[in-house]
Chain A
Amino acid sequence: MSGWWRRGWRVIWEREAVVFGRWEMALMRLLFALVMFDAGSKLVGWARADAGSFNARWGQVEVIPPVSSFVAQPKPHGLAVVLEKVSLDLAFLGDPSMAGMVYVGFLVALGCYVIGVVLPVALGVMFFSLLLHGTFHNSQGSIHHHLQLITCVVGIQWIASLVAVCRRGGARTWLALDGSSENRLVNWTQQVIVAAYVVSALSKLIISKGGWIWDAPWFGIQLAKAVDQDYYDHLRPGTETPAWLPDWLLENPWQARGLFGPALPLEFFAFLALRNRAMGALYAMALIGFHLTVSSLMSLDFRYNVQMMLVYFVNGPFWLWWWAAGRRRRAAAYARER
């Protein structure tokens, strides 16, 4: 038994310089492109027999709308402030023909990305489309957090592809990255995803002055707000939060701390997911569980986080391959023994 424990501990704790196979990285590109289509949520909708919305939204990229619903940028944000100083207004994205052009450009770049050709150009187009769209969205007077991580991931992949071109040079690298460069691209992607959780944990510590877990019972007030807001979207209850939960949290502070407190260390130690494949998969599953719980309680949208975790950390196809290869090895050893 102790041997099993030791082996299990080694599997999840030993540092491993993960080398991804070419097929794995190609599959990751395809799956990440599907994340842009929000394929995961669409499939869940389809499984829940919401075929209407599945059919209507299936072909549409979710991160870049073909037509923007905003007409102006009342409160310029980030890059929009800089562009405004040189008389450039992102409101052109509200013009259907311009939004359509950006959309088509994004689609073409996404196609190249999936095939794995001209990645420095394709990722550049994707990054700037997302950057402009996200900045325009955030220039409406409220900051949103659903596109940040996906834009950072595309941005770091673009930088990784440029680094590969600088290091290796040559038209061949422009056309297609070699294995080690693409491996670095995936590793940097993982680091960016993990960074978002570490930042979130540090923000919690800084803003709450270290008292986040102690203050957790007051989460009841935020929960009540989230439930009410969700109700006013359609005038029907939308979250799965029981009506008694917000008051219960306020009345039972220690239980509230025990229930929500673990979220902070879970986020803070997210960098452990970079230790090796097994740890990455296990940690990602814990974070996915955390996201799904928060989503069902507060109707918050973590769909891209969950899908990116599945693609870059859980990496189901690898484990299937690993299991199948192990079976083949055992069968061959058994045949040799006989």
Chain B
Amino acid sequence: MIRRLRTLGSFVVRLLRRLLAHPRYQVMAVMVAAALILGDRLFPFSSFPMYAGFPDRTHYVYLADDEGRPLPMHDFFGYRTTKIKRIYSNEMRDIFRSLKDSSESEEGDEIKLHTMTEEQLRPAGDATLRWLVANDRRRKQRKGEPLPALRLYHVDVDRGPDGRLRRTARWVGSYAGGVS
């Protein structure tokens, strides 16, 4: 096994040497190495991790009025739902990390990202709505008209017991309305 690994290792090293020695691929090799080392930490480098793994569940968010009726995100704030989902997910991960740290130190209970409750997710939802209101791209078109009360819903997408797709929506954020 170790011999096989050594053979494979020396093959990879030889391949890399050949690649690096050839001017046709040198810049490419440096860029690949830099992107893999730096990941998404330093713009403009990126390891392009989108859809690099397929977990068995995912989530997204949508905007709604104070009765829970969906509102068109792009028409309303000028941002695509995908962007807002990323902002929300980052907030959610921050909360998850702090919850995990505190639960490990106090109770030792295991918390998972998808088992977070509505109450635990609420700060992430509220922060996302605050960001949307502060960076509203449709402010000019609104001509000073106050924003209505808004809600943010978190939708989990997974495979139900019948094997088909299942969507579960939860109310996770509120904005009381007012001047944008």
Asked if A200 and B74 sit within 8 Å, CB to CB, the answer is: no
A95 within 8 A of B: no
Q: Which of A173-212 contact B (CB under 8 A)?
A: 187-188, 191-192, 194-196, 198-200, 202-204, 206-208, 212
Given A191-B25, A232-B70, A131-B44 contact (CB < 8 Å): yes
A24 within 8 A of B: no
Asked if A229 and B53 sit within 8 Å, CB to CB, the answer is: no
Asked if B27 and A230 sit within 8 Å, CB to CB, the answer is: no
Residue of B nearest to A127 (CB): B44
Contact mask for chain B residues 46-87; partner A; CB cutoff 8 A; 1 contact, 0 none: 111111111111111011000000111111001011110111
- Bound-state Cα–Cα, A232 to B131, Å: 18
- Bound-state Cα–Cα, A75 to B90, Å: 10
Given A232-B63, A233-B72, A70-B135 contact (CB < 8 Å): yes
- Bound-state Cα–Cα, A285 to B99, Å: 48
Asked if A151 and B44 sit within 8 Å, CB to CB, the answer is: yes
Main secondary structure of the interface of B (DSSP, over half): mixed
Number of interface residues of B (CB under 8 A): 62
Asked if A250 and B42 sit within 8 Å, CB to CB, the answer is: no
Asked if A234 and B28 sit within 8 Å, CB to CB, the answer is: no
- Bound-state Cα–Cα, A225 to B74, Å: 17
Could you tell me the distance in whole angstroms from the C-beta of A250 to the nearest C-beta in chain B?
6
Q: Which of A124-160 contact B (CB under 8 A)?
A: 130-131, 134-135, 138, 140-145, 147-149, 151-152, 155-156
Given A191-B31, A221-B54, A228-B155, A145-B46 contact (CB < 8 Å): yes
A47 within 8 A of B: no
B40 within 8 A of A: yes
Asked if A218 and B43 sit within 8 Å, CB to CB, the answer is: no
B13 within 8 A of A: no
B158 within 8 A of A: yes
Tally the A-B contacts, defined by beta carbons under 8 Å: 190
Asked if A235 and B54 sit within 8 Å, CB to CB, the answer is: no
- Bound-state Cα–Cα, A143 to B75, Å: 22
Given A69-B78, A199-B31, A229-B60 contact (CB < 8 Å): yes
B45 within 8 A of A: yes
Asked if B28 and A130 sit within 8 Å, CB to CB, the answer is: no
B159 within 8 A of A: yes
- Bound-state Cα–Cα, A152 to B137, Å: 28
Contact mask for chain B residues 16-46; partner A; CB cutoff 8 A; 1 contact, 0 none: 0000000011111101100110001111111
Asked if A228 and B134 sit within 8 Å, CB to CB, the answer is: no
- Bound-state Cα–Cα, A147 to B48, Å: 12
Main secondary structure of the interface of A (DSSP, over half): helix
Asked if A140 and B87 sit within 8 Å, CB to CB, the answer is: yes
Contact mask for chain A residues 63-90; partner B; CB cutoff 8 A; 1 contact, 0 none: 0000001111011011100000000000
Q: Which residues of B contact A217 (CB under 8 A)?
A: 54
B161 within 8 A of A: no
Asked if B163 and A274 sit within 8 Å, CB to CB, the answer is: no
Contacts A200-B48, A228-B60 known; 13 new A-B pairs at CB < 8 A: A69-B135, A71-B135, A74-B131, A134-B44, A140-B87, A141-B86, A148-B46, A156-B27, A199-B35, A200-B47, A207-B53, A218-B56, A274-B28
- Cβ contacts A to B, 18 pairs, < 8 Å: A78-B42, A142-B86, A145-B50, A148-B46, A188-B27, A194-B28, A202-B36, A204-B51, A218-B55, A220-B165, A221-B158, A224-B157, A228-B155, A228-B167, A229-B85, A232-B63, A234-B72, A246-B165
Interface residues of B (CB under 8 A from A): 24-29, 31-32, 35-36, 40-60, 62-63, 70-75, 78, 80-83, 85-87, 89-91, 131, 134-135, 137, 155, 157-159, 163-165, 167
